[in-house]
Amino acid sequence: MRDGRRIDVMLLEKRCCETLPERVCCAGKVNCERPDLPSLMKHFTLLLAASLVFSACDLLPDPGSTPDQTLEDTRWNLTAYGERNGTLGDVDVNPDVGDGPYTVRFLQEGNFSVEDSSGLDGDTGCNSFNANYQVDEETNELSVFNFATTLVSCDNEEEGVLTGGLLGAASYRRDGQSLRIFYPEDESRVLVFSRREEAE
């Protein structure tokens, strides 16, 4: 009987060494037990979930910053205008006859000495202008004042729309490379701009 048990143990050890890592078999264990797979899977799943959570934290934006709402040091081209909830008209650009491009540049410092304001300037291809502006980046309120422009006579609708829209500005929304300025006080009309990267 003892020889029979010894043979059974030897066969068990041999079978164990064929299926488990060598360090487990060489530990001198007679009982060859596999690791508890459900327990290992549970630990692996927890580690994987934790690493995904920490990875996702890096992708979340900083709740204290709203970089897309900043207007300072940006330049924009007018691309469309019209009723806020209606069809927008495209902007006709023909620099050869003084029609555009219609640009607005928001500066850090004001053009005139006005406390808590910044400056803007722009060009319509026919006239140039400058003004001061104030924004509230939390509410997206925008006001433009101290507007000054050259007075060359131009026959284009877009110039009047751009300057009138800026003077009547009530709010804005920036979405990456797109800017919308809503006017007048009821915000029923909109100027649509695309970001212009080159500096002048």
For the stretch 66-121, pLDDT in tens is 456 789 999 999 999 999 998 898 887 776 766 678 999 999 876 666 667 799 99
Are 50 and 135 in the same domain? Answer: no
Contact by Cβ (8 Å): 160, 174? no
The terminus-to-terminus CA distance of the chain in angstroms comes to 98
pLDDT of amino acid 200: 47
Structural domain that includes position 44: 2-59
Which parts of 23-177 are beta strand (E)? 74-83, 88-90, 103-106, 118-123, 128-136, 141-149, 171-175
Contact by Cβ (8 Å): 114, 87? no
Determine phi and psi for 4, rounding to 5 degrees.
Answer: -65, -40
CATH (domain of 83): 2.40.128.270
Q: What average pLDDT does the segment 148-176 reach?
A: 92
pTM for this model (two decimals): 0.63
Token readout for 46 is 């927890």
Are 107 and 50 in the same domain? Answer: no
- pLDDT, the chain, mean: 77
pLDDT of amino acid 39: 65
Q: What average pLDDT does the segment 138-159 reach?
A: 91
Distance, in Å, from the CA atom of 152 to the CA atom of 97, rounded to the nearest integer, reads 13
pLDDT of amino acid 182: 98
pLDDT of amino acid 33: 54
Half-sphere exposure of 132 (CA within 13 A, CB side): 13
Instruction: Provide, rounded to the nearest whole percent, the portion of the chain with pLDDT above 70.
Output: 60
Are 101 and 189 in the same domain? Answer: yes
Check residues 32 and 124 and name the one with the higher pLDDT: 124
How far, rounded to the nearest angstrom, does the alpha carbon of residue 191 sit from its chain's CA centroid?
21
Token readout for 174 is 């920036």
- Please tell me what DSSP assigns to residue 172: E
Check residues 96 and 195 and name the one with the higher pLDDT: 195
Are 10 and 85 in the same domain? Answer: no
Contact by Cβ (8 Å): 100, 90? no
Q: Is the pLDDT confidence value at 65 over 50?
A: no
- Final residue belonging to a domain, choices 40, 59, 78: 59
